[in-house]
Amino acid sequence: MSKTVLITGSSSGIGRATAEHFQKSGWNVAATMRSPENSSGWKKTDNIFFVRLDVTDIPSIENAIKETLNKFGTIDAVVNNAGYGLVGAFEASTDEQIERQFRTNVLGVMNVTRAILPYFRERKDGTIVNVTSMGGRITFPLYSLYHATKWAVEGFSESLQYELSPFNIKVKIIEPGPIKTDFYDRSMDVMTRDGLTAYDDYIARAMPNMQKAGETAPGPEIVAKVIYRAVTDGKWKLRYPANASMVLSLRKALPDKAFQGFVKKAVLGKSRK
């Protein structure tokens, strides 16, 4: 029997590239998204299944798992990829934006993971892949809430691996660096507040440099390959960087002050006293 992977947030970007990579590699793929009826441009084959799943809607998660099992008979891996980026000065944030950021990026991962665990635990096998970011171990200006969610998922995943290993359930973390996807436009929510102009100069200096990093980055296929390797390598390895190894190595090697200086120079250019 072919193996099956269920992937959240498969409509575009890393999720879609990952679904297509597993599909080409002979896996059965449950490509889940909030609006599967809008899926287009896919190569339709017997091993691809489009199903609705909203990570903030628990009944939709349970139904997607049930439909996938009915379709393919098994689920061997789950890739928690769905998410979005909230960017801007924290002072400009609203309660609704903060809640949406955590509800999607943190609680969404937990909702899907909790729903699949009884099945994985009973069969004593399974792999859970959580797509975080290099921003789950380092930070950049204007991404405070996004970073907070990614750091939360890193801690959640690292702790979870201890309690799941006795059931032969592997937990993997994927840490992409800059990747050319719609994260930098359609999936990004920019925080603004009428009358709040104190951060305008800082934002005007920082945002173009950070946007440029995404525009010149490799495509999501590089992350899809890393996810596939994490699922199929049979190892108990926890973290898998993707286009992020150099920056993560710098963070490990440099003291805080030196690394913060590196970030400021990269984001803001020549420092001002």
- Distance CA(165)–CA(199), nearest Å, equals 46
Please tell me the predicted confidence (pLDDT) of residue 86: 93
pLDDT in tens, 76-116: 999 999 999 999 999 999 999 999 999 999 999 999 999 99
- Spatial contact of 83 and 131, defined as CB atoms under 8 Å apart: yes
Catalogue the active-site residues.
146
Please tell me the predicted confidence (pLDDT) of residue 273: 43
- Distance CA(112)–CA(165), nearest Å, equals 18
Q: Alpha carbon 96 to chain centroid distance? A: 21
Residue 49, pLDDT above cutoff 90 = yes
Residue 117, pLDDT above cutoff 60 = yes
* pTM score: 0.93
- Spatial contact of 108 and 149, defined as CB atoms under 8 Å apart: no
Average pLDDT, the chain: 93
CATH of domain 4-268: 3.40.50.720
pLDDT in tens, 160-216: 999 999 999 999 999 999 998 765 555 568 899 999 999 999 999 999 888 887 777
- Distance CA(45)–CA(28), nearest Å, equals 10
Residue 138, pLDDT above cutoff 70 = yes
Average pLDDT for 26-53: 91
pLDDT in tens, 65-75: 999 999 999 99
